Structure 1
């Protein structure tokens, strides 16, 4: 059971109160009534099925990126390269889909386009993520710096791509690719909205990571974040940990690139990432690296964006960009919580400690024995260290 941490809860409540106060102050500063703004925010999210669908559409990419960041952040590997990985994944997914159309024609089955797009996107994101992983393992280049700088390189690659081999044959005001085949588009789940089948993928990914949190691999990553030398004795080497966790996040971001192309825009645009990479990182921290918490946080972030339009309409003075300001304040609050806890990942403690965030995880068949074996190995390692 998790021990009750008074300081943690006081900090969390204080952050939430601070976000509400700052939001109300911003609304007042814009010359509007905070209650009117709040009502507009709620109506902007729930006034019609289309608006509900927009919340779901916006939450899908953020949730997938945040979920696939769990292993990296749990191990203390802080990657901020999801933006670039989304971009490269979208480029390869678009190219692969159009190449498949050229080979098989527009009449190819939709699942073929989906599979090709998903695999190509995942491959693109993984390859782009391997670059900072290689730099970190081979030359110990800080992964925060390398992933951040590679985002700008990816933007340059996208701009070059949209002006050369993926440029639309039509004259357009902004660089973009040609439209994807109709069969390549993800099916709509809610009629009259843009809510697509990517929502189902979020459920699948969340279920996978709920299961993963019960495995010994999750324990090893938690130990690696706090005691790397002990984790080495459990088989979690530095190189293997960095490569595996960053590649997992790259695969998730690359799949998001395919979803943004096939499920939302139906073509490759220069704004394909749209800031979802940074939002995904914020949501992962806000959700405390818990799959259910991440999904709820992604819905909250998306609701802020969608509701800000309703707030602007209700007040007439508040710009919709206020949502980004509130997100920033909220993220600062999450950083404060993480600083209070002094956790290397975020608002969680390594698995296997009294403050671990695995309370809801019930070990499956065979998992208990594996964890007990690791615990025995850990105890032996600690005893051996004490004797030296």
Structure 2
């Protein structure tokens, strides 16, 4: 095993261990037996098919967001805008479903409504992702700051939407849309639970990224994060990398918005995102940017929330909100991993090894591609030096 992989998994295991210790300490502080609390947590996620279904329902959106963040994080682009992208994706999905259903007089088949919701959600998430990508490329606005601020803009847009063109015709205590047509709902996967067929989408996306990790595109993104001048010579320009990686994460978050509307809530609610975007970023880092690790981390993260109710019932004194405190400890640990993984190759690889790797990679790339003018190559190398200086 490579040194970088070994140290990364040691860090991940340390974070998980710290979460368990913190949970035990909090249970003990609340006046309960930690072993009883942990046993209640386990029973809370496995005592019935419904509990198992709740774990799966919670893991689906977190897993998809985390998986589609892999390209951006591998390139060193930290986007925290999944919350807003989920919101706008949910709005686009709900609006598309209602529009198609109304256009066909309420007789639209399920497959058409699913397609409309999927495409509407993906488009909404993509738009919200391309805005900060454009700001980063055009004016070098920090993507963390722009995506964070756009989350508030999306929340305001959702509130306005639920009071105007997507408002429910019925009197409700909280703003919400009308119920989606029954044909638009994702069918249940496990009888008697809320688990739906969207779970299969997680498997498909995970397999796709397992294959993608073996491609040249994945390697170029890793090079871009650590050696931008070399990556530019290999064809990974800054604008292309920012746009493509942000687009992938935006589409994934937008699809999650559709899944939350069509598979869980059956309507558009003000709480459609529910912190899934931030959880997805944490899970992506906790899973080591590896698809299998991310799927396992998503299940673990969802089990914390689903099992907190069982912990409360078993102890009688520990509130279910302890899951949020434990998640906070987990997020602190993930932040440490993020700081470590920002440029791991530069930390672990010897200078001579990096220089040799650069020379070997440059030797493998033709000096000029067919049809390229010498001036174009000179301009590209000049831009590479400029980009490297800025970084």
TM-score of the two chains, using structure 1 as the length reference: 0.88
Unmatched segments (≥5 aa) in structure 2 = 351-357, 368-380, 386-391
Give, in angstroms, the shift of residue 218 of structure 1: 0.1
Q: Are 2:116 and 1:132 equivalent residues in the alignment?
A: no
Unmatched segments (≥5 aa) in structure 1 = 355-373
Give, in angstroms, the shift of residue 319 of structure 1: 1.3
In the alignment, is the contact (CA less than 8 A) between 1:222 and 1:349 conserved in 2? Answer: no
The equivalent residue for 1:194 is 194
Give, in angstroms, the shift of residue 6 of structure 1: 7.0
Structure 2 counterpart SS, 1:285:
helix
TM-score of the two chains, using structure 2 as the length reference: 0.87
Give, in angstroms, the shift of residue 379 of structure 1: 4.2
Q: Against the structure 1 CA distance between its residues 315 and 227, is the aligned structure 2 distance closer, same or farther, given a 3 Å change threshold? A: same
Give, in angstroms, the shift of residue 131 of structure 1: 0.7
Equivalent positions of 1:47-66 (< 5 A) are 47-66=47-66
Give, in angstroms, the shift of residue 311 of structure 1: 0.6
Q: Against the structure 1 CA distance between its residues 320 and 233, is the aligned structure 2 distance closer, same or farther, given a 3 Å change threshold? A: same
The equivalent residue for 2:76 is 76
In the alignment, is the contact (CA less than 8 A) between 2:24 and 2:38 conserved in 1? Answer: no
The equivalent residue for 2:307 is 307
Supply the distance in 2 between the matched residues of 1:237 and 1:328 (Cα, whole angstroms): 36
From the two aligned structures, give the one with the greater helix fraction.
2
Equivalent positions of 1:296-335 (< 5 A) are 296-335=296-335
In the alignment, is the contact (CA less than 8 A) between 1:286 and 1:331 conserved in 2? Answer: no
In the alignment, is the contact (CA less than 8 A) between 2:8 and 2:288 conserved in 1? Answer: no
Q: Against the structure 1 CA distance between its residues 178 and 306, is the aligned structure 2 distance closer, same or farther, given a 3 Å change threshold? A: same
Structure 2 counterpart SS, 1:194:
coil
* Residues 174-219 of structure 1 deviation map (CA, whole Å, 9 limit, x = unaligned): 0000000000000111001010010000000001101100100000
* Residues 44-78 of structure 1 deviation map (CA, whole Å, 9 limit, x = unaligned): 10000000000000000000000000000000000
Structure 1 counterpart SS, 2:271:
coil
Out of 341, 344, 352, which is 2:342 matched to? 344
The equivalent residue for 1:35 is 35
The equivalent residue for 1:204 is 204
Supply the distance in 2 between the matched residues of 1:13 and 1:71 (Cα, whole angstroms): 23
Alignment: residue pair count: 360
Give, in angstroms, the shift of residue 234 of structure 1: 0.4
Supply the distance in 2 between the matched residues of 1:137 and 1:310 (Cα, whole angstroms): 48
In the alignment, is the contact (CA less than 8 A) between 1:30 and 1:317 conserved in 2? Answer: yes
Give, in angstroms, the shift of residue 221 of structure 1: 0.2
Equivalent positions of 1:120-199 (< 5 A) are 120-199=120-199
Structure 2 counterpart SS, 1:162:
helix
Out of 378, 381, 387, which is 2:362 matched to? 378
* Residues 11-37 of structure 1 deviation map (CA, whole Å, 9 limit, x = unaligned): 455433332222111111111110110
The equivalent residue for 2:96 is 96
Supply the distance in 2 between the matched residues of 1:5 and 1:80 (Cα, whole angstroms): 25
Which stretches of structure 1, 4 residues or longer, exceed 3 Å deviation after superposition?
3-17, 374-381
The equivalent residue for 2:267 is 267
Structure 1 counterpart SS, 2:152:
helix
Supply the distance in 2 between the matched residues of 1:296 and 1:375 (Cα, whole angstroms): 38
Structure 1 counterpart SS, 2:163:
coil
